[in-house]
């Protein structure tokens, strides 16, 4: 059965793929002030008509009828892929990301590329060279980052689902702040081939959707081994959709003490606690667990990700592709002008920090030590999961803050990711689902973290909670 057939079974008025695409295009144009999209594919209507014919003939793929958006650091042929940066403003990829190919093969309709923090470096989508994205719930507030455009596209009905990338929380955090579902799979579950790199040992493509079942079917399509990505896991892909319905009675839910201390907003705490109480009411075992190195997560993450960014972004030098400035006075002058004009402030900040921690005399003191702490963080999760099946806690310490409020305070901005950075360091999957709103009407999300490659259990637990709180 196709995705559209499932929707038509649930909806009072059945729709066609073309109708869904037209509705999304209308919404994109009417919400253009949110700046969620970098480019929109108007020819999506033609593809929708072709898919409607395939549905009628019974030959359509699993995602037929699903309108999806792609973060602008996931490359597509015949489309500009900027990664939110001026240095790639005219870059058109000669190849296509594996996830894009797999979605198109299952008849998804890709409606456009979404705005993002430059190279994925940000927690508010204010660092894009093409202007900030605004939260569709309240346009004076940030949508989270760096996949803010993808999150807003889903939240504002401009797409049914979207792909983002999550390095330290860039899918889960904007999902929580815009009131949608955001899934980061286990590192290696989804191929990174065609994802413009930020920090290669942390980057992972994830799903944003209106509900958990949509995230499940999207993950099922994009997951799986890819011989073009040596870090992709050679494991069978479960049928995530068929394993969603489950009872939580007897499930062991771990609550980290470290996630409920200083810095957590009272309203966020209350909503997350209410959701946890629902597990108790249905017979799940809720118990305290320890993640003792949580306080070192931010420092460890920003040492490792900036070091990898320094290495990955060295390729943008004005020689091979992308922006080129200067050159009259030699190669060094061209490098300096290209990189100083092509990169934004946050990217420059992280490149400089990463170059510093990798330099002679500082490598052992910072980079090597951060790698050791990463091992300790991974060990924390292994010990916690010996006592529980799923870890629950807040996705963010606060609800969305106002545009411009933290843009000049990097440390305060970095702390927005305090609950999301440790999972990627450990390589485990996590999902954010909405559980309520604060007094201003801004969304609140709960984060559920699962064991490595146990997305079926994580998605089933999230789906149960989604139904329980809604």
42 — pLDDT class (breaks 50, 70, 90): confident
The reply to whether 335 falls in a domain is no
Q: What is the pLDDT of residue 423?
A: 98
For 126-194, list the strands marked E by DSSP: 161-166, 181-184
Q: What is the pLDDT of residue 320?
A: 85
Mean pLDDT of 4-19: 91
Q: What is the pLDDT of residue 13?
A: 83
Q: What whole-number distance in Å separates Cα of residue 365 and Cα of residue 370?
A: 9
The reply to whether 68 falls in a domain is yes
The reply to whether 114 falls in a domain is yes
pLDDT at 342 over 90: yes
CA angle 148, 259, 198 (to 5 degrees): 35
Query: What residue numbers bound the domain in which 42 lies?
Result: 3-243
If one counts every other C-beta atom within 10 angstroms of the C-beta of residue 30, the result is 11
N-to-C CA span, the chain: 26
Mean pLDDT of 339-365: 95
Q: What is the pLDDT of residue 411?
A: 87
Q: What is the pLDDT of residue 1?
A: 86
High-pLDDT (> 70) share of the chain, %: 100
Q: What whole-number distance in Å separates Cα of residue 421 and Cα of residue 415?
A: 10
Q: What whole-number distance in Å separates Cα of residue 338 and Cα of residue 324?
A: 5
The reply to whether 462 falls in a domain is no
Structure tokens at 53: 């014919």
Instruction: Write b or e for each residue in 94-132: b if 16 or more Cβ atoms lie within 10 A of its Cβ, otherwise e.
Output: eebbbbbbbbbebbbbbbbbbbbbbbbbbbbbbbbbbeb
What are the distances in angstroms from CA 237 to CA 26, 204, 244, 283? 36, 17, 14, 30
Task: Indicate the helix (H) or strand (E) that contains 390.
Answer: strand 390-394
pLDDT at 328 over 90: no
321 — pLDDT class (breaks 50, 70, 90): confident
**In 3D, which of 451, 432, 447, 433 has the Cα closest to residue 389?**
451
Q: Are 111 and 28 in contact (CB under 8 A)?
A: yes
Q: What is the pLDDT of residue 334?
A: 92
The reply to whether 176 falls in a domain is yes
Q: Are 454 and 209 in contact (CB under 8 A)?
A: no
Q: Which residues are catalytic?
A: 71, 146, 170
Pairing of strands 285-289, 252-256: parallel
pLDDT at 470 over 90: no
Mean pLDDT of 96-125: 98
Q: What whole-number distance in Å separates Cα of residue 457 and Cα of residue 449?
A: 10
The reply to whether 203 falls in a domain is yes
Structure tokens at 44: 């999506």
Q: Is the peptide bond before 146 cis (omega within 30 degrees of 0)?
A: yes
Mean pLDDT of 348-364: 94
**In 3D, which of 181, 217, 170 has the Cα closest to residue 72?**
170
Structure tokens at 387: 């006592």
Task: Tally helices (H) and strands (E) across the chain.
Answer: 15, 11
Residues 439-468: pLDDT tens digits?
Answer: 999 999 999 999 999 999 999 999 999 999
When the pLDDT of each residue in the chain is averaged and rounded to a whole number, the result is 96
The reply to whether 180 falls in a domain is yes
Residues 165-218: pLDDT tens digits?
Answer: 999 999 999 999 999 999 999 999 999 999 999 999 999 999 999 999 999 999
Structure tokens at 393: 């806690």
Q: What whole-number distance in Å separates Cα of residue 278 and Cα of residue 286?
A: 10
Q: What whole-number distance in Å separates Cα of residue 105 and Cα of residue 103?
A: 5
Q: What whole-number distance in Å separates Cα of residue 37 and Cα of residue 465?
A: 31
364 — pLDDT class (breaks 50, 70, 90): very high
Residues 376-415: pLDDT tens digits?
Answer: 999 999 999 999 999 999 999 999 999 999 999 988 999 9
Q: What whole-number distance in Å separates Cα of residue 277 and Cα of residue 273?
A: 6
The reply to whether 154 falls in a domain is yes
pLDDT at 327 over 90: no
DSSP 347: H
Residue 28, domain CATH: 3.90.1300.10
User: How many residues are recorded in the chain?
Assistant: 470
Mean pLDDT of 260-267: 94
The number of folded domains in the chain is 1
Q: What whole-number distance in Å separates Cα of residue 377 and Cα of residue 293?
A: 6
């Amino acid at each position: 059965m196709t995705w559209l057939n499932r929707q038509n079974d649930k909806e009072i008025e059945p729709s066609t793929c073309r109708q869904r695409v037209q509705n999304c295009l209308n919404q994109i144009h009417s919400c253009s002030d949110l700046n969620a999209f970098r480019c929109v594919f108007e020819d999506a209507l033609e593809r929708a008509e072709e898919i409607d014919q395939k549905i009628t003939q019974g030959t359509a793929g699993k995602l037929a009828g699903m309108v999806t958006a792609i973060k602008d650091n996931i490359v597509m042929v015949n489309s500009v892929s900027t990664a939110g940066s001026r240095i790639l403003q005219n870059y058109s990829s000669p190849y296509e990301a594996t996830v894009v190919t797999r979605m198109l093969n299952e008849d998804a309709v890709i409606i456009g590329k979404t705005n993002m923090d430059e190279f994925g470096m940000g927690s508010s989508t204010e660092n894009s060279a093409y202007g900030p994205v605004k939260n569709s719930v309240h346009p004076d507030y940030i949508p989270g980052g760096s996949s803010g455009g993808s999150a807003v596209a889903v939240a504002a009905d401009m797409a049914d689902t979207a792909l983002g990338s999550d390095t330290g929380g860039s899918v889960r955090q904007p999902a929580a702040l815009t009131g949608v579902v955001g899934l980061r799979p286990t590192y290696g579950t989804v191929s990174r081939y065609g994802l413009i790199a930020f920090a290669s040992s942390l980057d992972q493509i994830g799903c944003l959707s209106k509900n958990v079942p949509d995230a499940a079917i999207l993950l099922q399509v994009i997951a799986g081994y890819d011989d073009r990505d040596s870090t992709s896991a050679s494991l069978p892909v479960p049928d995530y959709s068929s394993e969603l319905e489950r009872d939580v009675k007897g499930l062991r839910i771990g609550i980290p003490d470290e996630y409920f201390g200083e810095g957590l907003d009272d309203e966020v705490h209350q909503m997350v606690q209410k959701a946890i109480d629902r597990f108790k009411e249905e017979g799940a075992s809720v118990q305290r667990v320890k993640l003792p190195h949580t306080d070192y997560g931010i420092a460890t993450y920003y040492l490792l990700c900036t070091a990898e960014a320094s290495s990955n972004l060295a390729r943008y030098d004005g020689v091979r592709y992308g922006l080129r400035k200067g050159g009259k006075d030699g190669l060094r002058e061209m490098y300096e002008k290209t990189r100083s004009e092509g990169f934004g402030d946050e990217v420059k900040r992280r490149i400089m920090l990463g170059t510093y921690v990798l330099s002679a005399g500082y490598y052992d003191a910072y980079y090597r030590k951060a790698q050791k702490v990463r091992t300790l963080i991974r060990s924390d999760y292994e010990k916690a999961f010996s006592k529980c099946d799923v870890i629950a806690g807040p996705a963010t310490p606060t609800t969305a803050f106002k545009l411009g409020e933290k843009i000049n305070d990097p440390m305060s901005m970095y702390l927005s990711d305090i609950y999301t950075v440790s999972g990627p360091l450990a390589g485990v999957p996590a999902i954010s689902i909405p559980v309520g709103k604060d007094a201003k009407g801004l969304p609140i999300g709960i984060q559920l973290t699962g064991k490595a490659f146990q997305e079926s259990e994580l998605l089933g637990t999230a789906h149960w909670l989604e139904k329980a709180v809604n």
